[in-house]
Chain A
Amino acid sequence: MFGYYLELALRSLKRNRVLTVLMVVAISVGIGASMTTMTVMYLLSGDPLPGRSSHLYYPQLDAETGKSMVRSHPADLLDYISARDLWSGHKATRQTMVAGAIVKLQPEQSSKRPMMIEALATTSDFFPMFDVPFKYGAGWRPEDEEARARVAVIDADLNRHLFGGANSVGQTIRIDGNDLRIVGVLDKWRPSPRFYSIAGGHAAADTSDFYKPPQGVMMPLPTALDAQSQFDWFNCWGDVDLKHMDAAKCEWVGLWVQLDSPAQRTAYREYLAHYDAEQRALGRFDHAPNIRMMSLMEWLDFSRVVPQDVQLQTWLAFGFLAICICNTVGLLLVKFLGRSGEIGIRRAMGASRRDIFMQCLVEAGTVGAVGGLGGLLLSWVGLWLVRQQKVAYADLATLDPGMLVLTLMLAIGASMAAGLLPAIRASRVPPALQIKVT
C-alpha cells in the first residue's frame, strides 16, 4: 500500500509544481536554519569530557581581604597560597592546579622570528585526570614539580611548526629565556570548551574565546613561577607584584579535583570548609566563609560559556522553523482540499477515510523527506558560513553524524505533523457530493 501511496504522492507533487516547490523550499530553509544553529549549539554546549566530567569538581573560596562585604559568589580563581595548600593536601583521587600565561618562544633557528604563545602552567595530574592524549612521550612526573624541573609538554601544532611533526621528545625549546626539555607531545586534542581554564564567564558579554584550542605549551607550575612567567590574573588587591605571583594578592590559579564517590565529595566539602576556617583563625582570611564546589558541568553552566549570540540565533531559527511549518500546513491544506474532486471519486470507489488519510500523510512525508535533504544541504552551507567567521569556535562547526540523522527525522516529522490537519480534513471529504458537482 505504501508504494502505491508514494506513487500517488509523486504524481500529485508533479502536477502542481509551484506549490510543491514552495513547500519544499519552506521546509528546507526552516530546517537548514534551525539545524545549523542547533549543530553549533550542540557542539558548544556538549560535555567536554563525557564519562569523566561527573567526577571532576572545582573548589572555590574567597581569599580577598580588606573588604567589608562578602561577594555574592566566591572568586572564579584562587590565590596561589590557597590553591597550593589544597593541592598539596592530596585529599582527592587526583588534583591539579591550572594557570594561563603568555610566554615568549625563541626558536633555535635564527631564521624564525620569536613568537608569543599561550602557555599553561599546571601539575602532573592534569594529563591523566583530563584524559589528555599523547602522540609521543608522556606528561611529567610529580617529582619533576618538586625538583622544579625544566620540562615541558607541547601540542601537535607547535610540534609541527618547530619540529616538522617528528618525535621531539628529548629536544629543548627556549621559553622566556629558559631551556625546557620536551617530555611529551600531545596528539590532536580539542576539548570544547577549553573547560579547565574558564574564569569570568558569568559576567562576560562575549564568551567565544572560551572555545580556543588548548595552550601550545604546558609546563610545571613551580617551574613557571621560577621563570617569573607572565601569568593571566583575574583579580588583584593590595600592592601587586606580578613578578612574584606565588605571594601576590591575586586570584589567578584554578584548582580541579577528581572525586569518585558521593562520600568523597562530602569529605572534600568538609575539608574545604575546614581549610577556610583555619585560614580565618590564622588571620589570612578576614570575612565570613564563601566557599563552593561545583561539578565540571555545573561550572560551565554557571559560567554561561555558550556564547549568547549562538543561543539567540537558535531561538530565532526555531521561530523561523515554526513559521515555515505553519506555512506548509496552509499549503498542504490548499493542495489536499483542491483535490476534493479526486478524493471524492476515490471515496466513492471504495477507499476508506483511513486510506485517504494515509495517502495524504505519505504525500506530506515525501515533501518532508525532500525538504529534509534540501535542509541538510543548506545546513552544510550554513556551517561552512559559520566556519568562515573569525571566532574561536569556528573550526568546531562541522556536520555531526547524530545531527544529520536528527535533521532528516525532524524534517519528516515536522512535515508529517504539518500534514496531519490537512489530511484529516481531506479524509472527511464526502464521496457522493463531489461527483455531483464536478
Chain B
Amino acid sequence: MAIHVKPILAALRRHRIATMLIGLQVALACAVLCNALFMLSNRLDLMRKASGVDETHLVVLTLKSNGKDLLPDTLLRIKQALRGIAGVESVSMTNAVPFTAQTGEMGFRSDMDDPRYNHEGHFYVADNDFVATMGLHLVAGRWLGDAEEARSDTFLPSGPSILMTGSYAQSVWPGKAPLGQVLYTDGAQRQVVGLIGDLIRPNPEPTALYNTALITGEQVVGTVFVMRTEPFNRDKVLRAAIDTTERLAPEVVIDETYTDTLSALRDAYFASTRAMAGILCGIIVAMMLVTALGIVGLASFWVQQRRRQIGIRRAIGARRSDILSYFQTENFLIVGGGIAVGMVMAFVLNLVLMRFYEVPRMPLAYLPVGAVALWLLGQVAVFGPALRASRVPPVVATRSV
C-alpha cells in the first residue's frame, strides 16, 4: 500500500496550530514518560535486590537499648530461651540483619598510608550461629575459626580476621585477589580470610547495596535476635518469641519496628519506595490517558471538518482503507514530530534532574521505548475517529453539509 505523505503534509500545513499543539503535547509526554519509566525501573530494581539470606525462613526480634540496660547475661538468657521455642532451628545474636537499623557503619582504609578512610561499609557483628541461621555461603577462603574469636564490647570487636561480601571486596581492591588483603579501621587491622555471597546491608540504597563485612565470635552480644524456622511456622515463632522475651525479662524494651518476619521487614523497608513506584505508575497512566483523549478530540474534530473532502475522495475512487490509512498516517507523522522533539527534551530533563537530585544518567535505550509507546498510543487513539472517517459515504460529496 503506497502511503502518500506529501498530500498529508500539505493538509497539515493548513492546520499548523492544532498540529503543533498535538506535537507539543506528545513531546512533553515523551519527556516525562521516558524519565518516569526510568525512575520507576530504578525503584523496581532496588526492591528486587536479593538479600543474600534465607528470607522466608527468618524471624527477627530486636531490643531497644539505652546503652546500659541490656547486660550480656540478660541477652544470653534471652537467646537461650528463644532457642527453646518449638519450631526454632537455630538462633543468632547480632548487631543487625538486613532491613533493620544500620548499626555497624564504619569508614576504613584499604591502604595503610591513605590519610582518609576511603571506604565505608556496614560491619555485621554476630555470634557464631549467624552463618548457619542466615544461610550464608562461602565464595572463597574460609569461615572465621575459634582461634581468631572476636572479643570485647566496643563498637567493633577486636580480632585478626574478617569476612567480606565477595563483590564488594573486589571493588575495594580492584584488580587484586581480595583474599589475604588487610583492612584498616581506627587502631586495628584485619585480614580478609573469606569471601561470602552478596549479603545486603541493613539499609540498601541504589548507591550502596552490598558493601558489607562480617565479624563473628563466640563472645559477641547484640540486640538483634534472628531465628531460623520453617516458613509456615514464622508467625507462631514470632508471637512465642515476643511472649518469651517479655516474660523472661520484663525490664527490656522490644523494638516493634524491627520485630517481625524478615519478609515483612523487607516489605516495610521498601514501603516508601513502593509508594513512589505507585505514584510514578499513576502519573504514567494518567498522562497516557490524557494524551490519548487529546488525540481523540482533535482527530474527531478534523474528521468532522473534512467530511466533504472525504466524501469527494471516496466519490472519485478512494477505498475505505485509504481513508483509514490517511488518518493513521497523519497521526503517525504528527506523533513522530512530537517524539523527535520529545526525545531531546527527555534527555535534557534527565540532565536537569541529575544536576539537582541523585538521579543517575538515563540509558539512551529508554528514548526509543518511550517513542514506541507514544506511537502505539497515537495509533490506537486515532483509530476510532479514523474508522468514523472511513465510513463517510461518497454521497456526502454531492451535498452541501
Contact = CB atoms under 8 A, between A and B. Distances in A.
Given A308-B358, A323-B291, A327-B294, A313 B68 contact: no
A391 B18 contact: no
A205 interface: yes
A114 interface: yes
B301 A68 contact: no
B85 to A, nearest CB: 21
Nearest to A22: B293
A31 interface: no
Nearest to A340: B305
A116 interface: yes
B29 A323 contact: yes
Interface of B, helix, strand, loop or mixed by DSSP: helix
Interface in A1-42: 19, 22, 25-26, 29-30, 33
Interface residues of B, number: 61
Contacts of B35: 316
B285 to A, nearest CB: 11
B272 A331 contact: no
A390 interface: yes
A414 B106 CA distance: 52
**Which of under 10, 10 to 19, 20 to 34, or 35 or more describes the interface residues of A?**
35 or more
A26 to B, nearest CB: 5
Contacts, number: 147
Given A229-B66, A239-B187, A316-B283, A309 B276 contact: yes
Contacts of B271: 389-390
A309 B21 CA distance: 30
Contact of A311 (B64, B66, B272, B357): B357
B251 interface: yes
A329 interface: yes
A421 B297 contact: no
Contacts of B66: 102-104, 116, 176, 229-230
A399 B275 CA distance: 20
Given A33-B283, A67-B116, A69-B115, A237 B297 contact: no
A337 B305 CA distance: 10
A25 B279 CA distance: 19
Contact of A104 (B253, B255, B294): B253
A93 interface: no
Given A67-B115, A116-B64, A320-B32, A425 B17 contact: yes
A277 interface: no
7 contacts: A104-B253, A243-B67, A316-B280, A323-B25, A330-B22, A330-B297, A334-B297
Interface of B: 17-18, 21-22, 24-25, 28-29, 31-32, 35-36, 39, 64-69, 115-116, 154-155, 186-187, 205-207, 246, 250-253, 255, 268, 271-272, 275-276, 279-280, 283, 286-287, 290-291, 293-294, 297-298, 300-301, 304-305, 349, 353, 356-359, 400
